[in-house]
Structure 1
Amino acid sequence: MPLSDDDVREILRIIDESDLDELRIETNGLRLYVRRGGAPPREEPEAGGDERRLIEAPKREEPPASGQEASDGRAAEGASGSDGALTIEAPMVGTFYRAEAPGARPYVEVGSRVEPDTVVCLIEVMKMMNSIRAGVSGRIAEVCVENGELVEYGQPLFRVEPDR
């Protein structure tokens, strides 16, 4: 039985909420290896070419006291705090896309109004597209990454001027 996208998400949620640092799952020719932080061990592919998926689980991090957490994305108060802007951070490692398809209009631009449930971008992980929601209300002040760029967990994606 192959792992579904929901199965992988559930595995990552369990790892994130547990004290586990590493998990290996082998089923019907699929090997899933999840490790919290650090570099994964080097393994040579076996003859027969079974598929391997490597997922780095997010490092534990306490959410900011004054920040808000989106359903898919994370919003945290800006580091400077003086301008009051919030940062929408990557909730996972993957490839950042501003639009649904090449040549399509971006989900948001600088100046776009967003609500907590507004999809602001996609992050592709293992050929699976994940919609990232703003998690805050306000206006996009800055797009922090380029389309097609690899993003890390917690990396700033957008700066948002919150509603007052």
Structure 2
Amino acid sequence: MTEDLPLTAEDVAEIVAILESSGYREVDIATNRFRLRVARGDGAQSGFTQEWQWAGATGAGEASTGETVGAESDPDAVLAPLPGTFYHAPQPGAPPFVQPGDNVNAETVVGIVETMKLMNPVHAGRSGVVAEVIVPNATMVAKGQALVRLA
């Protein structure tokens, strides 16, 4: 199931602009699909921070299937560093970053997660051999969801 992000980067920028012109320090928006928290930084940490959580996700390690997947339950899994859409290749029609049987090291990019129109590389994090690419291409993933399994 492929879904678009519930808000665009422009939507979040507009929320930040509203927050910036108000006397409030943070805004917390929750819907049936997601939760977005935007907060104003303090002192040395100027600017704004944002935090996403998809509806039904109770935190890192909770997959969209409801099955708990995390470093504790599957130490061979490469986990999504943030929520978004997982892609196997850098662009449509390009060969995938990795396939089962490929040797990888800690810095090898195994895929990308697109969040808010930003492409975030996902690194293997350790050396090994790709045993399985768990998530289909162009699939929405939660933070902490297993993407690739190494052997």
User: In structure 2, the residue corresponding to 1:92 is in which secondary structure?
Assistant: coil
Q: CA deviation at 1:56?
A: 1.2
Partner of 1:146 in structure 2? 136
**Following the alignment from structure 2 to structure 1, what is the Cα–Cα distance between the partners of residues 91 and 106?**
23
> Aligned match of 2:123 in 112, 118, 133?
133
**Following the alignment from structure 1 to structure 2, what is the Cα–Cα distance between the partners of residues 77 and 138?**
18
Structure 1 unaligned blocks of 5 or more: 9-24, 42-53, 63-74, 80-84
Q: Residue 116 in 1 paired to residue 106 in 2?
A: yes
User: In structure 2, the residue corresponding to 1:135 is in which secondary structure?
Assistant: coil
Partner of 1:87 in structure 2? 77
Partner of 2:94 in structure 1? 104
Q: Residue 160 in 1 paired to residue 150 in 2?
A: yes
The residue type paired with residue 109 of structure 1 is Q
**Following the alignment from structure 2 to structure 1, what is the Cα–Cα distance between the partners of residues 85 and 145?**
12
**Following the alignment from structure 2 to structure 1, what is the Cα–Cα distance between the partners of residues 109 and 58?**
24
Partner of 1:40 in structure 2? 35
The residue type paired with residue 35 of structure 2 is P
**Following the alignment from structure 1 to structure 2, what is the Cα–Cα distance between the partners of residues 30 and 131?**
30
Structure 2 unaligned blocks of 5 or more: 1-8, 37-49, 62-69
**Following the alignment from structure 1 to structure 2, what is the Cα–Cα distance between the partners of residues 124 and 153?**
12
Q: TM-score, normalised by structure 2?
A: 0.58
Q: Which structure's relative contact order is higher, taking Cα pairs within 8 Å and 6+ residues apart?
A: 2
Q: CA deviation at 1:154?
A: 1.0
Partner of 1:44 in structure 2? none
User: In structure 2, the residue corresponding to 1:27 is in which secondary structure?
Assistant: helix
1:97–1:123 CA contact under 8 A, matched in 2 = yes
Matched residue count = 110
Partner of 1:56 in structure 2? 52
Q: CA deviation at 1:60?
A: 6.0
Moved more, 26-35 or 122-131: 26-35
**Following the alignment from structure 2 to structure 1, what is the Cα–Cα distance between the partners of residues 121 and 110?**
8
Partner of 1:76 in structure 2? 71
User: After the TM superposition, which residues 15-26 of structure 1 pair with which residues of structure 2 at under 5 Å, given as runs?
Assistant: 26=16
**Following the alignment from structure 1 to structure 2, what is the Cα–Cα distance between the partners of residues 158 and 110?**
9
**Following the alignment from structure 2 to structure 1, what is the Cα–Cα distance between the partners of residues 135 and 59?**
23
Fraction of identical pairs, as percent = 37
**Following the alignment from structure 1 to structure 2, what is the Cα–Cα distance between the partners of residues 93 and 122?**
11
Residues 155 and 33 of structure 1, relative CA distance in 2, 3 Å threshold: farther
Q: CA deviation at 1:29?
A: 8.7
